[in-house]
Structure 1
Amino acid sequence: MAKGSSVQALYELCKRTFLPSAASPPSSHAIQMLSSLMDTITPAEVGLEEETLEDERGHGFFGSNFSNYSSRTARWAQPITYLHIYECDSFTIGIFCLPTSSVIPLHDHPGMTVLSKILYGSLHVKSYDWVEPACLARTTEPFNSPVKLAKLHTDAVLVAPCQTKILYPETGGNLHCFTAVTPCAVLDVLAPPYDEAAGRSCTYYRDFPYSSFQGPANLEIEEKEEEYAWLEVNNQPVNLYMRSGIYAGPAIQETFCFPGTCNIV
């Protein structure tokens, strides 16, 4: 029964943590409880098997009989599969399944808290946080948008099993890029979900070394320049191929919270 599953427990803890009427963000204790629970979840508990992900490697749109001539195109076209588990106005739970070499480009999570747990495989994560107060620089091209300074938070290959990663609205690597080193799967909790009407649209970026642009004369970079980059808004990449898959894990049984009974402090 789903009632006793880890996914059910995750849902119920999210329900008590991310309240629609909350006047302030959840406490760090509540977020750590969620993180600790996600640390325990295995691929089998969400209906995944490692060997199933690599089946479509290198085929993408084209199928296994497509000529070798198109192998490079098929490489970037291989699909990233999203498995929807649950969504409400306060949070969403889902799994991204990434074939080898697939990329989720650099993007942001405005006003959102995100918990990401690598279920299996190896994943390169590169993430940034904005430098505050905001620091802008103009590009040499007249029609380009200004670039904005960000500080590197993470640039590493993470290998399962590893601890759940947490990013917050302003810190923790709110802007990140995923590149699959091997077939991998990532369990994600986003709170609240993307919502364009509420000002939470997903924006994509491309990064440039700090030396690429001239910042304000009074800007002091205390650490190494390699720890900073200029980010420019980028249109959604045309080579991002994402599709919906069928979640094969235990179904969630919705529960209901009553005022004053669900908050975690």
Structure 2
Amino acid sequence: MGKSYSIQALYDLCKKTFTPSGFPPPSSQSIQKLCSILDTIGPADVGLKEDNADDDRGHGFFGFNQFNRVARWAQPITYMEIHECDSFTMCIFRLPSSSVIPLHDHPGMTVMSKVLYGSMHVKAYDWVEPACIRNINGYPVRLAKLAVDKVLAAPFGTSILYPRSGGNLHCFTSVTSCAVLDILAPPYREAAGRKCTYYNDYPYSSFSKGTSSEIQDGKEEDYAWLQEIDTPVDLYMRQGEYVGPALRH
């Protein structure tokens, strides 16, 4: 595919596949067709160049304290919108080394992610159903099961999460400077009940009271208690300009 054709073909297929309500859900055949296009897209197809490694002054995912924001050089995550409509959002996130997009959800949404360059660690959960909720010191926590815990590096294939499976609640931590192309369908719309909510996760043993009665399958390490939090004040994100091929609408 040519550079302009790849992203245009992706947009055209998204228009045919997704709806404003998310219903009916996209078919597996449609998802596979989208993946086949996404898997071919690289930085040049969306007007990007890989960041110069010499400028990567972060400590790295396994370096110094990854949660110590003061220790990390303050360079923002950049958000670039390619297209947004009632049915889907196409966008790019550029993350400097060691930066974090905190754990957050995608209510009622299907999300497809393709790492364009670099590498990032993904940790993702799905809610345990039926809902298992406890009240801890006046604050509710809800049980979730780990779905993904691995490093994705370009040119790794497309990752997919669904409303109830595949890791609907996820956190990104850049191992190196990286960029990821996301398709969110339908997009966040608070009026439609699709608000982005952030969470802290706690090991299952933190609130287990010495029992494991809620565990359905797997090990205790596969489960965590998630607590809703306000949008993190240190989430440093700025708007960037999409510089790739223009879309024909």
Q: TM-score, normalised by structure 2?
A: 0.89
Q: Distance in 1 between matches of 2:54 and 2:83?
A: 25
Aligned partner of 1:65 in structure 2 is none
Q: Distance in 1 between matches of 2:212 and 2:157?
A: 40
Aligned partner of 1:132 in structure 2 is 129
Tell me: CA distance 1:193–1:23, structure 2 relative to 1, closer, same or farther (3 Å).
closer
Cα deviation for residue 20 of structure 1 reads 3.8
Contact 1:56 1:78 in 2 (8 A): no
Aligned partner of 1:46 in structure 2 is 46
Aligned partner of 2:246 in structure 1 is 251
Q: Distance in 2 between matches of 1:169 and 1:152?
A: 15
Cα deviation for residue 162 of structure 1 reads 0.6
Q: State whether structure 2 residue 165 is matched by structure 1 residue 165.
A: no
Cα deviation for residue 75 of structure 1 reads 2.0
Q: Deviations over 1:170-206 (max 9, x none)?
A: 1000000000000100000000100011110000000
- Which amino acid letter does the alignment assign opposite residue 224 of structure 1? K
Q: TM-score, normalised by structure 1?
A: 0.84
Gaps of 5+ in 2: 59-67
Tell me: CA distance 1:13–1:53, structure 2 relative to 1, closer, same or farther (3 Å).
farther
Q: Deviations over 1:93-139 (max 9, x none)?
A: 01000000000000000000000000010100000000011111221
Aligned partner of 1:222 in structure 2 is 217
- Which amino acid letter does the alignment assign opposite residue 175 of structure 2? V
Contact 2:93 2:181 in 1 (8 A): yes
1:3-152 superposed matches below 5 A: 4-20=4-20, 23-51=23-51, 55=55, 73=70, 75=72, 77-139=74-136, 141-142=137-138, 145-152=139-146
Give me the identity figure in percent.
65
Q: 1:242 aligns with which of 233, 237, 240?
A: 237
Tell me: CA distance 1:6–1:23, structure 2 relative to 1, closer, same or farther (3 Å).
same
- Which amino acid letter does the alignment assign opposite residue 44 of structure 2? A
Tell me: CA distance 1:133–1:222, structure 2 relative to 1, closer, same or farther (3 Å).
same
Contact 1:121 1:185 in 2 (8 A): yes
Gaps of 5+ in 1: 59-70, 255-265
Q: Deviations over 1:195-228 (max 9, x none)?
A: 0111100000000000000378753443110000
Contact 2:113 2:180 in 1 (8 A): yes
Contact 2:142 2:225 in 1 (8 A): yes
Contact 1:57 1:78 in 2 (8 A): no
Q: Deviations over 1:12-40 (max 9, x none)?
A: 00001013477411111101111111000
Aligned partner of 2:149 in structure 1 is 155
Q: Deviations over 1:73-93 (max 9, x none)?
A: 372632000111001000010
RMSD over aligned Cα atoms = 2.2
Q: Secondary structure at the match of 2:113?
A: strand
Contact 1:48 1:249 in 2 (8 A): yes
Contact 1:45 1:249 in 2 (8 A): yes
Q: State whether structure 2 residue 197 is matched by structure 1 residue 203.
A: yes
Q: Distance in 2 between matches of 1:116 and 1:202?
A: 17
Tell me: CA distance 1:11–1:30, structure 2 relative to 1, closer, same or farther (3 Å).
same
- Which amino acid letter does the alignment assign opposite residue 42 of structure 1? G
Which is helix-richer, 1 or 2? 1
Q: Secondary structure at the match of 2:83?
A: strand
